[in-house]
Structure 1
Amino acid sequence: MIFDLLITGATIVNADGAVNATIAVQGGTVAGLLAPDTALPDAVRTIDATGLIAIPGGVDGHCHAEQVTGKYRSLDTYASTTSAALRGGTTTILDFGIPADASERPIDALQRKIRLISENGARCDVALHGSVITWDDTTSAQLEQMAKLGVHSVKMYTTNRGSTMSDDDTIVRVMHEMARLDGLAYIHSEHDGIIVDRTAACADRGQVGIAHLHESRPRISEDASVREILAIAEYTGSPVYFVHQSTPDAVDAVAAARARGMHAYSEICPHYLLRDDSVYSSASPEMFACCPPMRSAEDVAGLRERVRRGLVDTLSSDHTSYDLAQKREHSDDVRHMPHGLPGAETRMAAGYTAMVIQEEQPIEDFVAMFSATPARVNGLHRKGVVAVGFDADLVLFDPEERRVVHAEDLHQDSDFTPFEGLELGGWARYVVSAGRVVVDEGAFADPGPVGRFVGQAPFSERPGVTRPAARVPVG
């Protein structure tokens, strides 16, 4: 056999350990892991990766492409978002079929996104979450249609009144359906009543601009909402996944639920590990307009400690490509500005820096959160592991390389990054996606519009979705 690709000399790191082997790729799949002393077979191309680390391609479980929220549209296409993701070591993204307005049904929003994946030229594989804003007598049938398409997760927002927010009745009903249909509820969890009240109080004081974002969305709004949603999940029997958790107490609540037998998962984003709320006093606070906002330095330290203990399951970008002009249109009133940060390209480097370089965690822990666990939790059976029979989605990087981040050097359809000026490690030297070398010695080799819509397995068919008991730190 003549293999399509051989990768020699790398240290292969999966979530469960490291080995030295030659990776053989054929037909978009890992066809073999050969002992280092094995005579090399013939191959169309061989990459000498001596000194590099090989990890499974990243799976970004929370990425917004071609997002429409009210009058605001993100500036990207599937082609550009997936190209940026590939440059940053992510070979699969999970996007959302969120209704653009009240007239669009959830199933129509989902099918619109499925069409756009091919029409707008995705460069890597894309899976989708559905989304429900308002329950009606057709919603149950629509969720059944989603499941038949391979979409077994549905996102709901507990805030954003008047746009994407789902009320309590809708959340309860959708969670009942997720339990019935063997699915997973994705939740943006902030208590809307608390946020509305606090924001109104800030406005009364003339403190509702972007510099006061963190004051208008206090940490208790997230903590209270997480506890409430966990109660609904326990009542309905639905598995539940909390996106972009930003407070230690929120993570602790999920960990406690998991300890008593619930299927409950925590996601974190790199910007909550590398930035704190002092950024809202900077010259460009709009660069950090996201919900939840950045938290205190004490909260950041608490989040890092929980990541070290294994209490957080996944590392996602929550990528959205707005630019500063869109942000600054209403920087004087956070109630009207678009929230969301670009991060698909920087997720690997920012997460690796926070976890491995700064906190000295094992690379295996990073691989688990960056790739392996998001693949398992989201039912993507062929992703997240460098092993025979899995998709040949691979990242090779030099653990010693460092770069200072500047927005002008990135490719995310935005003119800013929340990591501007930070020195980060963990940059991809080579990226292989479905067996194709798409980043070659740091240069992007555009594969063209080859990205596929990939379906998820039902929740009960997802092996290893329940994390082992959290590691207890010594001392």
Structure 2
Amino acid sequence: MSRQPDLVIANATVVNSFGRQNAHIVIQDGLITQLVEASEAIPAAERTIDAAGRLVIPGGVDGHCHVAQVTGRFRTLDDYRTTSTAALWGGTTTIIDFGIPRDAQETPLAAVLHKKELAVESRCDIALHGAVVSWDETVPWQLEQLAAEGVRSVKMYTTNRGSTMADGDTILKVMREMVRLDGLTYIHAEHDPIISDCTQQHADDGRIGIEHLHRTRPELAEEISVRETLAMAEYTQAPVYFVHQSTPGAVDLVTEARARGQKAYSETCPHYLALDDTVYGSAFPEWYACCPPMRSPETVAALKERLAGGAIHTVSSDHSCYDLSQKRERTDDVRAMPHGLPGVETRMPVTFTAMVSADSSVEEFVEVFAAGPARINAVPGKGTIAAGFDADVVIFDPSEERTVDGGALHMGTDFSPFDGLTLTGWPAVVVSAGRVVLDGAGFHDPGAVGRFVARNGFREHLASAVDSARATTPATLAAAK
């Protein structure tokens, strides 16, 4: 006699990126084994959660996190236990971190293997991106080893000379290797000569404090870099993913490239949807030190229009967990202070609030929060509530409002850039790999059970997603391309 399922989420309104249905979700051994029509009897289980009147969506996939990141003399204050716990509090059940070399002596392969060692403390599933700063004859072999490890993407920066910046020759050569290895090239796109010159001009004028950050990194610098990178990607036929796009112009360039047949993707972050550059005139401008900086209210409104129109493919946190003491060391000089914001825990409500205000549907929210990041990053078993997928699900009430208290969050820092904002759409129950980790009784620490997820090849996974989409709806097929 077969044993009962571990968990049933009954009377659920299941919302995937391609539609919704009323069903009982049956979970056993960390997988979704069945969706039973809600008109049928609720299957017996070891535990049953009644989701009547609430929506159930796939657990979030945050494709852009920095955990225990070392940049120059600064190190983020989190570890995998802290960040994964905060992710689960925020309805995210899979995070993708970066193995970025900490200095010139650390190789791309060593950086990833170091992060894999640290990640054994994770409470949720994790995957990794690699990173290349400079080219040498060992890089092709290292990228092959990364692919064998299930690390199928590599990030490069077009700015930050002297630390993480990769020159054009390196970017082009890495793109060729990623095509060979069926991988994805990640790009932080800001035009370094423009930024360096603009920053120096502001320094010469004595306007280099944090209150001037948004003026030192103009929108043009981002858009020119996107244009140049797209040209290299077109030349090499490399799929390319642009992190934290902050301007509608940058997004439009990607949209135009896609119309020409390129595999190009736009990511934005919650802070570019909820905040604008007036924050640099606030009492605490150091709360908002990030690159690119916040943009004008008009730019933010246009970016939200692009998101509502489907031109932005993912919303990721770009989580970087510095605290205020680190931020305040050098508020007098943006060149010397650490940039990056804590946000893995608040990604769900900030993104949902921004999308609801732009009349987006819950299905469209699921696409950028879970389904799109899983598909584009070729993460198997994630981003969809269906039989055979991992049992990562979130019950939430889209009308629930809470006001952010940065001190009450769980990200290992003492502030949130969204402190005081009232946001809609918070997780009520979070199930990760079949375990209930958050419910009305609070957080239930599952221990160091997070799994490293080896990712598929980019084109291999995309083809599989399209085949799967043909079995569902035309809307899914459109989203999967």
Same fold (TM over 0.5): yes
Superposed, 1:105-120 pairs within 5 Å as 105-118=107-120
Amino acid across the alignment from 1:302: A
Q: CA deviation at 1:229?
A: 0.3
Is 1:151 paired with 2:151? yes
Aligned residues of 1:428 and 1:442 also touching (Cα < 8 A): no
Q: CA deviation at 1:468?
A: 6.8
Show the counterpart of 1:124. Answer: 124
Cα distance per residue 1:277-321 (max 9 Å; x no partner):
000000000110000000001100110111111100001000010
Greater alpha carbon shift after TM alignment, 456-465 vs 407-416: 456-465
Show the counterpart of 2:75. Answer: 73
Amino acid across the alignment from 2:332: D
Show the counterpart of 2:411. Answer: 412
**Equivalent-residue separation in structure 2 for 1:109 and 1:222 (angstroms):** 27
Superposed, 1:25-424 pairs within 5 Å as 25-118=27-120, 121-356=121-356, 358-424=357-423
**Structure 1: 5+ residue runs without aligned partners?**
471-475
Q: TM-score, normalised by structure 2?
A: 0.96
Show the counterpart of 1:443. Answer: 442
**Equivalent-residue separation in structure 1 for 2:458 and 2:39 (angstroms):** 41
Aligned residues of 1:321 and 1:412 also touching (Cα < 8 A): yes
**Equivalent-residue separation in structure 2 for 1:47 and 1:308 (angstroms):** 32
Please state whether the residue corresponding to 2:46 is helix, strand or coil: strand
Please state whether the residue corresponding to 2:66 is helix, strand or coil: coil
**Equivalent-residue separation in structure 1 for 2:333 and 2:96 (angstroms):** 31
Cα distance per residue 1:38-77 (max 9 Å; x no partner):
2222211000111111000000000011111011010001
**Equivalent-residue separation in structure 2 for 1:172 and 1:359 (angstroms):** 37
Note closer, same or farther for the CA distance 1:84–1:309 as it changes in structure 2 (3 Å cut): same
**Equivalent-residue separation in structure 2 for 1:142 and 1:352 (angstroms):** 39
Amino acid across the alignment from 2:139: T
Q: CA deviation at 1:190?
A: 0.2
Please state whether the residue corresponding to 1:396 is helix, strand or coil: strand
**Equivalent-residue separation in structure 2 for 1:456 and 1:40 (angstroms):** 35
**Equivalent-residue separation in structure 1 for 2:221 and 2:287 (angstroms):** 22
**Equivalent-residue separation in structure 2 for 1:469 and 1:459 (angstroms):** 17
Please state whether the residue corresponding to 1:55 is helix, strand or coil: strand
Show the counterpart of 1:473. Answer: none
Note closer, same or farther for the CA distance 1:442–1:65 as it changes in structure 2 (3 Å cut): farther
Aligned residues of 1:429 and 1:442 also touching (Cα < 8 A): no
**Equivalent-residue separation in structure 2 for 1:256 and 1:456 (angstroms):** 28
Aligned residues of 1:431 and 1:437 also touching (Cα < 8 A): yes
**Equivalent-residue separation in structure 2 for 1:138 and 1:462 (angstroms):** 27
Cα distance per residue 1:238-281 (max 9 Å; x no partner):
10000000000000000000111000000010110110000000
Show the counterpart of 1:6. Answer: 8
Amino acid across the alignment from 1:79: R
Cα distance per residue 1:178-215 (max 9 Å; x no partner):
11111100000000000000000001111000000000
**Equivalent-residue separation in structure 1 for 2:268 and 2:12 (angstroms):** 29
Amino acid across the alignment from 1:72: F
Amino acid across the alignment from 1:173: K
**Equivalent-residue separation in structure 2 for 1:42 and 1:313 (angstroms):** 38
Amino acid across the alignment from 1:13: V
**Equivalent-residue separation in structure 2 for 1:299 and 1:40 (angstroms):** 49
Amino acid across the alignment from 1:59: V
Cα distance per residue 1:435-469 (max 9 Å; x no partner):
00000126111000001111110111123679977
Please state whether the residue corresponding to 1:169 is helix, strand or coil: helix
Q: CA deviation at 1:360?
A: 2.0
Show the counterpart of 2:472. Answer: none
**Equivalent-residue separation in structure 1 for 2:196 and 2:443 (angstroms):** 44
Amino acid across the alignment from 1:233: A
Segments of 4+ moved more than 3 angstroms:
464-470
Count of paired positions = 467
Q: TM-score, normalised by structure 1?
A: 0.97
**Equivalent-residue separation in structure 2 for 1:87 and 1:469 (angstroms):** 31
Show the counterpart of 2:18. Answer: 16
Please state whether the residue corresponding to 1:335 is helix, strand or coil: coil
**Equivalent-residue separation in structure 1 for 2:295 and 2:399 (angstroms):** 30
Note closer, same or farther for the CA distance 1:406–1:322 as it changes in structure 2 (3 Å cut): same
Amino acid across the alignment from 2:406: A
Amino acid across the alignment from 1:129: H
Greater alpha carbon shift after TM alignment, 439-448 vs 157-166: 439-448
**Equivalent-residue separation in structure 2 for 1:39 and 1:201 (angstroms):** 70
Please state whether the residue corresponding to 2:320 is helix, strand or coil: coil
Aligned residues of 1:431 and 1:438 also touching (Cα < 8 A): yes
Amino acid across the alignment from 1:7: I
Amino acid across the alignment from 1:93: I
**Equivalent-residue separation in structure 1 for 2:449 and 2:74 (angstroms):** 28
Aligned residues of 1:198 and 1:216 also touching (Cα < 8 A): yes
**Equivalent-residue separation in structure 2 for 1:126 and 1:19 (angstroms):** 29
Q: CA deviation at 1:8?
A: 0.9
**Equivalent-residue separation in structure 1 for 2:409 and 2:343 (angstroms):** 10
Aligned residues of 2:308 and 2:359 also touching (Cα < 8 A): no
